[in-house]
Amino acid sequence: MSEKKSEKRRLQRLPLDLEAICQSNGAFFRGYVQDISTGGLKLETQKKLEKGTNISMSIDSPRPLKLEGMVRWAARQKLHFLYGIKFHDMTEEKEAQLRELVQGLFWKSYGG
């Protein structure tokens, strides 16, 4: 396995379906988070974005979380798009909130 591939998968991703309000290039749109880790997420939306585009997201959860990231990869899937978003400008506080969200969702889904 190449070093890049192992780096891509070093963080466990949690599959889910959370609504997110997104903003990019001055436009607001709705998206759905399909999986998430502390390093990034997979976003499904009808909005077309280019690789390298910055995006802000507010994830609908018991404790709303605002995240900043950049589109690392893009794929078209029928009438919508899938994007790999890598988080940036993560403060310790935001990372702690994200870990709390991921752990809470994990235990809700798999812990009983």
Q: Where are the domains of the chain?
A: 6-101
Query: How far apart are alpha carbons 7 and 31 in whole angstroms?
Result: 26
Q: What is the pLDDT of residue 10?
A: 58
Q: What are phi and psi of 111, to 5 degrees?
A: -90, -5
| Pairing status of strand 54-59 against strand 65-77 | antiparallel
Query: How far apart are alpha carbons 95 and 49 in whole angstroms?
Result: 25
Band of the pLDDT at 43, cuts 50, 70, 90? very high
**CATH dotted code for 6-101:** 2.40.10.220
Q: What's the pLDDT tens digit per position in 54-82?
A: 999 998 777 778 999 999 999 999 999 99
Contact 39, 71 (CB under 8 A): no
Tell me: pLDDT of 2 over 70: no
Tell me: pLDDT of 95 over 70: yes
Q: What is the pLDDT of residue 99?
A: 85
Contact 23, 71 (CB under 8 A): no
Q: What is the pLDDT of residue 107?
A: 74
